[in-house]
Amino acid sequence: MAVEFLDIGGAHDGPESGGGGGSPATVATAGPQAPRPAGSGPPEDRGSGGPAPKVVTTRHPGRWVTAAAVVVLLAMAASALITNPAWEWEVVGEFLFAPSVLRAVVFTLELTALGIGFGFLLGTVLALMRMSANPLLSSVAWGYIALFRSIPLILQLLFWYNLALLYPRLSFGLPFGPSFFDIGTMDLIGPVTAAALGLALHQAAYAAEIVRAGLLSVDHGQREAAAALGIPRSRQLFRIILPQAMRSIVPTAGNEIIGLVKGTSVVYIMALPELFYQVQVIYNRNGRVIALLLVATIWYLVMTTVLSVVQHYLERHYGKGRA
């Protein structure tokens, strides 16, 4: 409803009003009023029907400069890789899928699986011992973790490889009692066993802290609620606590697995045919050092990329329902 002002000055002029020369009067009346065109009238009276304000985006010249610099650097790196004949790409293609190299890749993956599998199995036990209310169990777990994290992996591998120098034969029987049978240490712990044992025991120290951190990340109320419902402790751990702890365990565990894939290269000191040792054997015969090192680099890149993709999907799976 609009208010309209009408001019009625000339219609009611009279002597009592002071003559006809008076100013015209106005009367306010209510009634419909035709809408004014959008944008008409003074700027302060314009409503939302006026022209939209001009939107100016924020400019980021620094981003463009940085992106251009990165593109130039990538182009230079690609040119150096492609145009330099010293890389010997034809030799790389010749040995990339050589049978000996493929067997070495498989053996590397086997060592990684053994180290991670037994390492996280033992690490989970150590993590539970570390969180135990029993001071003896907690102290033993703490001592194991501190010891094996302090000794370099290569020294641990050499120790297990030369265990026969300390104990030529290993006996099995009652503690501090008679032995039932014994076996030569070299027959029981060969180079492959020593490598897997060293990798697993070394990895267990780190896995224990990863698992313990994951278990501690679960809210204590979950345990209290499960206990109030009368759920057994083992079921609490495997059905309630551990699935939630996997959200924190998987990212760090994935990094450890990827690190161990590359860490298996230290077993070359035991003359085991893993990837790095095998390419050393080949380039010692033909002298193509750079090309064979590039072969190993490509295979390590492929293995770690595949594991990174698997880690991504595991993180997404265990992160369901998390903001």
Instruction: With respect to residue 180, please indicate whether it lies within any of the assigned structural domains.
Output: yes
129-146 mean pLDDT: 93
112-138 mean pLDDT: 93
Instruction: With respect to residue 40, please indicate whether it lies within any of the assigned structural domains.
Output: no
Contact 193, 108 (CB under 8 A): no
Question: What six digits make up the tokens of 259?
Answer: 């690190």
Spell out the SS3 assignment of the chain: CEEEEEECCHHHCCHHHCCCCCCCCEEEEEECCCCCCCCCCCHHHCCCCCCCCCCCCCCCHHHHHHHHHHHHHHHHHHHHHHHCHHHCHHHHHHHHCCHHHHHHHHHHHHHHHHHHHHHHHHHHHHHHHHCCCCHHHHHHHHHHHHHHHHCCHHHHHHHHHCHHHHCCEEEEECCCCCEEEEEEHHHHCCHHHHHHHHHHHHHHHHHHHHHHHHHHCCCHHHHHHHHHCCCCHHHHHHHHHHHHHHHHHHHHHHHHHHHHHHHHHHHHHHCCCCHHHHHHHHHHHHCCHHHHHHHHHHHHHHHHHHHHHHHHHHHHHHCCCCC
Q: Report the percentage of the chain scoring pLDDT > 70.
A: 84
Q: Over the stretch 192-237, which tens digit does the pLDDT of each residue have?
A: 999 999 999 999 999 999 999 998 988 888 888 888 888 888 888 8
More confident residue, 207 or 61: 207
Instruction: With respect to residue 154, please indicate whether it lies within any of the assigned structural domains.
Output: yes
Please choose, from the candidates 108, 130, 129, 148, the residue with its C-alpha nearest in 3D space to the C-alpha of residue 257.
108
Instruction: With respect to residue 203, please indicate whether it lies within any of the assigned structural domains.
Output: yes
More confident residue, 299 or 38: 299
Residue 27 has pLDDT above 60, yes or no: no
Q: How far apart are CA 210 and CA 120, in angstroms?
A: 9
Contact 198, 157 (CB under 8 A): yes
Instruction: With respect to residue 101, please indicate whether it lies within any of the assigned structural domains.
Output: no
Instruction: With respect to residue 199, please indicate whether it lies within any of the assigned structural domains.
Output: yes
What range does the domain containing 145 cover? 109-264
Across 18-32, 138-152, 194-208, 296-310, least confident range: 18-32
Instruction: With respect to residue 189, please indicate whether it lies within any of the assigned structural domains.
Output: yes
Give pTM, 2 decimals: 0.74
What mean pLDDT, rounded, does the chain reach?
Answer: 83
Per-residue pLDDT band for 280 (boundaries 50, 70, 90) equals very high
Q: Give the C-alpha distances (Å, rounded to integers) separating 241 from 45, 73, 78, 139, 313.
A: 65, 48, 48, 23, 21
* Number of domains observed in the structure of the chain: 1
Question: What six digits make up the tokens of 142?
Answer: 């703490």
pLDDT recorded at residue 101:
95
CATH number for 232: 1.10.3720.10
Instruction: With respect to residue 165, please indicate whether it lies within any of the assigned structural domains.
Output: yes
Per-residue pLDDT band for 149 (boundaries 50, 70, 90) equals very high
How many residues are recorded in the chain? 323
Per-residue pLDDT band for 185 (boundaries 50, 70, 90) equals confident
Residue 9 has pLDDT above 70, yes or no: no
More confident residue, 48 or 121: 121
More confident residue, 29 or 127: 127
Per-residue pLDDT band for 15 (boundaries 50, 70, 90) equals very low
Q: Over the stretch 64-101, which tens digit does the pLDDT of each residue have?
A: 999 999 999 999 999 988 888 888 899 999 999 999 99
- Tell me the sheet residues that pair with 28: 5
Q: Over the stretch 166-176, which tens digit does the pLDDT of each residue have?
A: 888 888 888 87
